[in-house]
Structure 1
Amino acid sequence: MSASLAGLKVEVKYLQRENEAQEVKMKELELQKTELKQQYQAQAGEVISIKARANITENQVETLKREGEVKRVAFSASLLASGSADIGPFNAQMPLVFRHVVVNIGNAYNPNTGFFIAPVRGAYHFEFYIYGNGHPSYGSGAVLFKNGEHVFIAFEHQTAGGANSSNGVTLLLEVGDVVFVRQWTNTRIHDSQNHHNTFSGHLLFTM
């Protein structure tokens, strides 16, 4: 009887130790579960942060792309779209509309009005070339205007042969400023399929 009781006591102690060991394992598992949950939450937060940064980066790329497109501004056009003709003389300055467009990157030049309208604030360079047949009474010439301001003139007068003149200028333009060319008073210009008379410009850099 006493031996049996002693055996039961030993078994109970063994079971108690097993139970304690199981409790320790359960606590370890709970701790691991908590750690895994915290790691998952941290990773989920990091994923959200990465997605947010990716969206910001994508928006920045789109913005830079749009800005890059705006910054690409250049045009070149000649006077007549087809045929040949003498233009002038007139007793007042007349707008010259350069209708034969060779290139118009950014679409800042309007071939229907002859106006270049600045799309961004920056430094722009312009050139214009004017040609006329020599005449005893009439030279050939034109003036470049910024808004209503007379900037530079190109003028040549000779009695025979071809009369060529040109000029160029760099201008600081605000958004919406208008640059255009007018034929000089009492002059005559000739153009043909050879495109003697041209007006060109491009953005150097933004400011």
Structure 2
Amino acid sequence: MEMTLCFPLLLLICSLSTAQHQTESDNEIIPHGKQAESQGRGPTNVSDRQQTGTQDIHAVLREMSALLAEQRVEMRHLQRENEAQAAKLRELEMQKTEVDKLKQQLQAQAAELITVNTRSNATEGQVEALKRDGEGICSFIKAQTAKLKELELQKTEVERQKTELELQKTELERQKQELQAQAAELITMKARSNVTEHQVEALMRDGEVKQVAFSASLLASGSGHVGPFNTQTPLVFRHVLTNIGNAYNPNTGFFIAPVRGAYHFELYIGAGGHASHASGAHLVKNGGQTFMAYEHQPSGFGSSANGATLLLEVGDVVFLRQWGNTRIFDNENHHSTFSGHLLFTM
């Protein structure tokens, strides 16, 4: 590019030198005799030559300007090409880096493949040995499979027996509760049947008993709860306040009618608050439930009461039975009581 720029400059210098040299030659060639003649028109020729030289210079300058413009365009074009080549060069360098990385990966994979081939060759002998022992292994596997199936059957049988035992356990609990209820009923019937001959004879001697009354509280002393129990349980009121006629037994909690007549009974139940356990009891005549007192509150203290008038025959038994899964509170203030008295005989 520098050579291209220098060429117009050299051309301009050469043109100027040639014009000067030609002027000097023309002056030397003209004879002395004609100098006087030529002096008359000398200024005109010099002026013509100068004008011609100036025109040449302008032509050369125009040509140089055109060449310079072309060189600028070419320089911009070459600059863009250089930038494009530099970008391609950077891309090629990145590709070269990637190729080197892939080459390293291929080398590592080749090394790994060699290792795998080595291990494969080593295991071929083991495979052959396993093939030779294959029949024995198959037999062993079949035997183990048969044992596994047998164990699965045994497991299923154990689960079935476990379920059956759970059902039997549930049934046993139910039967146990029924037995407890029957035992309570049996106690009641036994109490009725245990009316001694002495009592009967005493009643027969006395003829007609006209004064019968009792009142008792649940706990003999102290403070606390009775229950809860899984099943209904007879209550024994041990703190006896009044027992006219001795018809109430503080050891069993039973009132046995000494004479046929109308009797009035009252029951009061103390209820200590509890989220899971209420307080309740039935008034029972000869095993059959009549009226009930029931109270349930999650906290604090409450109470419930009820009463009934019953027609009793001689030997009929009346008592209170605590409801299942309940508890009853009593203390020295005697919140839980059982009372009764003869209204009139019949």
TM-score range, shorter chain: 0.5 to 0.7
State the TM-score, normalized to the length of structure 1: 0.67
- 1:133 corresponds to 2:272: yes
Aligned partner of residue 333 in structure 2, secondary structure: coil
Deviation at 1:86, TM superposition (A): 1.3
Alpha-carbon separation, structure 2, partners of 1:163 and 1:89: 17
Residues 139, 163 of structure 1: 8 Å contact kept: no
Q: How many residues align?
A: 142
Deviations 1:163-207 (A, max 9, x none): 211110000000000000011111111111111100000000000
The residue aligned with 2:285 is: 146
The residue aligned with 1:155 is: 294
Alpha-carbon separation, structure 1, partners of 2:302 and 2:281: 12
- 1:80 corresponds to 2:219: yes
The residue aligned with 1:14 is: none
Instruction: Give the RMSD, CA atoms, in angstroms.
Output: 1.3
Aligned partner of residue 71 in structure 1, secondary structure: coil
Unaligned runs of 5+ in 1: 1-64
Alpha-carbon separation, structure 1, partners of 2:298 and 2:307: 25
Alpha-carbon separation, structure 1, partners of 2:281 and 2:302: 12
The residue aligned with 2:259 is: 120
Deviation at 1:67, TM superposition (A): 4.9
Q: Tell me the amino acid that sits aligned with residue 110 of structure 1.
A: N
Q: Tell me the amino acid that sits aligned with residue 226 of structure 2.
A: I
Alpha-carbon separation, structure 1, partners of 2:228 and 2:252: 20
State the TM-score, normalized to the length of structure 2: 0.40
Unaligned runs of 5+ in 2: 1-204
Aligned partner of residue 344 in structure 2, secondary structure: strand
Alpha-carbon separation, structure 2, partners of 1:95 and 1:85: 17
The residue aligned with 2:232 is: 93
Q: Tell me the amino acid that sits aligned with residue 115 of structure 1.
A: F
Residues 135, 159 of structure 1: 8 Å contact kept: yes
Alpha-carbon separation, structure 2, partners of 1:86 and 1:200: 20
The residue aligned with 2:314 is: 175
The residue aligned with 1:198 is: 337
Residues 140, 163 of structure 1: 8 Å contact kept: no
Deviations 1:80-136 (A, max 9, x none): 111111111111011110010000000000000000000000000000000121011
Alpha-carbon separation, structure 2, partners of 1:180 and 1:155: 16
Alpha-carbon separation, structure 1, partners of 2:297 and 2:312: 35
Alpha-carbon separation, structure 2, partners of 1:173 and 1:144: 14
The residue aligned with 1:25 is: none
Tell me which protein shows more strand as a share of its residues. Answer: 1
Identity %: 73
| Higher RCO (Cα < 8 Å, 6 or more apart) | 1
The residue aligned with 1:189 is: 328
Residues 147, 179 of structure 1: 8 Å contact kept: yes
Alpha-carbon separation, structure 1, partners of 2:206 and 2:235: 32
Task: Point out the structure with max Rg over C-alpha.
Answer: 2
Tell me which protein shows more helix as a share of its residues. Answer: 2
